[in-house]
Protein backbone atom coordinates (compact mmCIF):
# COMPACT_ATOMS: atom_id res chain seq x y z
CA UNK A 1 0.00 0.00 0.00
CA UNK A 2 2.93 2.29 0.67
CA UNK A 3 4.13 1.95 -2.93
CA UNK A 4 0.74 2.99 -4.31
CA UNK A 5 0.73 6.11 -2.14
CA UNK A 6 4.26 6.95 -3.26
CA UNK A 7 3.24 6.50 -6.88
CA UNK A 8 0.16 8.67 -6.35
CA UNK A 9 2.21 11.40 -4.71
CA UNK A 10 4.82 11.25 -7.47
CA UNK A 11 2.22 11.61 -10.22
CA UNK A 12 0.31 14.31 -8.34
CA UNK A 13 3.49 16.31 -7.78
CA UNK A 14 4.41 16.20 -11.46
CA UNK A 15 0.83 16.96 -12.49
CA UNK A 16 0.70 19.98 -10.18
CA UNK A 17 3.99 21.20 -11.70
CA UNK A 18 2.45 21.03 -15.18
CA UNK A 19 4.72 18.25 -16.39
CA UNK A 20 1.87 16.45 -18.15
CA UNK A 21 0.32 19.41 -19.98
CA UNK A 22 2.20 18.72 -23.21
CA UNK A 23 1.10 15.08 -23.23
CA UNK A 24 -2.46 16.07 -22.41
CA UNK A 25 -2.55 18.55 -25.28
CA UNK A 26 -1.03 16.01 -27.66
CA UNK A 27 -3.74 13.52 -26.70
CA UNK A 28 -6.50 16.09 -27.21
CA UNK A 29 -5.12 16.99 -30.64
CA UNK A 30 -4.89 13.33 -31.59
CA UNK A 31 -8.39 12.63 -30.34
CA UNK A 32 -9.82 15.55 -32.31
CA UNK A 33 -8.21 14.43 -35.57
CA UNK A 34 -8.76 10.67 -35.30
CA UNK A 35 -12.45 10.04 -34.85
CA UNK A 36 -12.98 6.34 -35.31
CA UNK A 37 -16.60 6.35 -34.22
CA UNK A 38 -18.98 4.12 -36.07
CA UNK A 39 -21.27 7.09 -36.74
CA UNK A 40 -19.04 8.13 -39.64
CA UNK A 41 -19.45 4.78 -41.34
CA UNK A 42 -20.73 5.19 -44.89
CA UNK A 43 -22.11 1.65 -45.15
CA UNK A 44 -25.43 1.76 -43.33
CA UNK A 45 -26.30 -1.92 -43.73
CA UNK A 46 -26.62 -4.04 -40.63
CA UNK A 47 -23.82 -6.30 -39.42
CA UNK A 48 -25.51 -9.50 -40.63
CA UNK A 49 -25.78 -8.07 -44.15
CA UNK A 50 -22.17 -6.91 -44.05
CA UNK A 51 -21.05 -10.41 -43.16
CA UNK A 52 -23.17 -11.91 -45.92
CA UNK A 53 -21.81 -9.41 -48.45
CA UNK A 54 -18.22 -9.99 -47.32
CA UNK A 55 -18.61 -13.73 -47.77
CA UNK A 56 -19.99 -13.12 -51.25
CA UNK A 57 -16.96 -10.98 -52.15
CA UNK A 58 -14.51 -13.49 -50.67
CA UNK A 59 -16.03 -16.36 -52.61
CA UNK A 60 -16.22 -14.46 -55.88
CA UNK A 61 -12.62 -13.30 -55.57
CA UNK A 62 -10.84 -16.37 -54.18
CA UNK A 63 -13.40 -19.20 -54.09
CA UNK A 64 -12.53 -19.53 -50.41
CA UNK A 65 -13.95 -18.35 -47.11
CA UNK A 66 -12.30 -16.86 -44.04
CA UNK A 67 -12.43 -18.56 -40.68
CA UNK A 68 -13.78 -16.58 -37.74
CA UNK A 69 -13.50 -17.61 -34.06
CA UNK A 70 -17.26 -17.99 -33.65
CA UNK A 71 -17.09 -19.92 -30.37
CA UNK A 72 -14.74 -17.35 -28.86
CA UNK A 73 -17.02 -14.48 -29.88
CA UNK A 74 -20.00 -16.29 -28.37
CA UNK A 75 -18.05 -16.70 -25.13
CA UNK A 76 -17.10 -13.01 -25.14
CA UNK A 77 -20.77 -12.12 -25.61
CA UNK A 78 -21.76 -14.38 -22.76
CA UNK A 79 -19.20 -12.87 -20.41
CA UNK A 80 -19.58 -9.24 -21.50
CA UNK A 81 -23.37 -9.00 -21.80
CA UNK A 82 -23.28 -8.94 -25.63
CA UNK A 83 -20.53 -6.35 -26.08
CA UNK A 84 -19.42 -8.18 -29.24
CA UNK A 85 -22.89 -8.68 -30.68
CA UNK A 86 -22.03 -6.83 -33.88
CA UNK A 87 -19.19 -9.25 -34.54
CA UNK A 88 -21.43 -12.25 -33.86
CA UNK A 89 -24.04 -10.90 -36.28
CA UNK A 90 -21.37 -10.34 -38.93
CA UNK A 91 -20.14 -13.92 -38.53
CA UNK A 92 -23.69 -15.24 -38.70
CA UNK A 93 -24.27 -13.45 -42.00
CA UNK A 94 -20.93 -14.68 -43.32
CA UNK A 95 -21.71 -18.28 -42.36
CA UNK A 96 -25.18 -18.07 -43.94
CA UNK A 97 -23.71 -17.34 -47.36
CA UNK A 98 -21.06 -20.00 -46.85
CA UNK A 99 -23.79 -22.59 -46.15
CA UNK A 100 -25.80 -21.48 -49.18
CA UNK A 101 -22.81 -22.02 -51.46
CA UNK A 102 -22.02 -25.41 -49.91
CA UNK A 103 -25.41 -26.85 -50.89
> In terms of residue numbers, what domain contains 54?
48-103
d(CA 48, CA 54): 10
Contact between 91 and 73 under an 8 Å Cβ cutoff? The reply is yes
Which stretches does DSSP call E strand in 1-103?
none
Instruction: Indicate whether 97 pLDDT > 90.
Output: yes
Overall number of domains in the chain: 1
Q: pLDDT for 40-71, tens place per residue?
A: 555 667 999 999 999 999 999 999 999 999 99
Q: pLDDT for 65-96, tens place per residue?
A: 999 999 999 999 999 999 999 999 999 999 99
Residue 63 maps to a domain: yes
Q: pLDDT for 12-36, tens place per residue?
A: 898 888 887 887 787 777 666 655 5
Residue 22 maps to a domain: no
Amino acid sequence: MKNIKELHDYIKNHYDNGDYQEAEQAYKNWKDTNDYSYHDDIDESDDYTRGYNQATKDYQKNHTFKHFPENLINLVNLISKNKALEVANFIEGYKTYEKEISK
